[in-house]
Amino acid sequence: SYQIRQIAKAIGATDFRPDKPDTTFQQGFTLLVVGVDDRNDGVATGIRSDTLMLMRVQPQTGLLSLLSIPRDTRVSVRERGDSKINAAYAYGYMHPQELYTDDVSQQEGGMALAAETVEDFLMLRSRGYRVDYVMELNFTGFAHIIDAFGGVTVDVPAYIVDAAYPTADYGVMRVEFQ
């Protein structure tokens, strides 16, 4: 918990929700991991959350619970109405100042609205919980996390060729695995 708090302080964004939770790490916390389709190529119109994982950490017992929320789940999004849950991040990203304050970044707006929407959809407040923290993660960040844990060994039992493997610049390339 201490390490997570130190990392959050170093890389964290400000939580602009009007009623942000007051969290005590020692008593447990809830983290919403938002996997975004962001390739750092300057195209901001298509950013949306492709993955939503809610993680509950209980440091005193050592328990960790994960809930994956399908991106096409129908929910009510503030200021937008009924929509897919992945639209909450996109709408917050595209309208941060209208939803929060003038000094909100697009990422902070997206994360805040995603957290609000997940809290409402899962009725977390009525159960005594909140989304205490939100972590935005793109594919490059995900790869760095996997590398930090030592990588993944993949056994390729047969020769594989993909002539149209997608690249970060929206092109394709040929890849071969022996």
The tens place of each residue's pLDDT in the chain, 178 residues long, gives 566 555 555 555 566 666 666 666 667 889 999 998 776 565 555 677 889 999 998 888 889 999 999 999 999 999 999 999 999 999 999 999 999 988 888 889 999 999 999 999 999 999 989 998 898 888 888 888 888 888 898 888 999 999 999 987 889 999 998 8
Q: Is 104 exposed, middle or buried (0-12, 13-18, 19+ CB in 10 A)?
A: buried
Could you identify the residue written with the tokens 């790490």? 25
The encoded tokens of residue 1 equal: 């918990």
CA distances from 19 to 81, 82, 112, 120, 131 (A): 21, 23, 11, 13, 11
* pLDDT confidence of residue 154: 84
* pLDDT confidence of residue 44: 55
Cα separation, 141 vs 17, whole angstroms: 24
* pLDDT confidence of residue 69: 96
Neighbours of 16 (CB within 10 A): 19
Cα separation, 153 vs 141, whole angstroms: 19
Could you identify the residue written with the tokens 């962001």? 38
Cα separation, 161 vs 146, whole angstroms: 24
Q: What is the pTM of this model?
A: 0.74
* pLDDT confidence of residue 34: 93
CA distances from 125 to 21, 84, 96, 130 (A): 10, 21, 23, 6
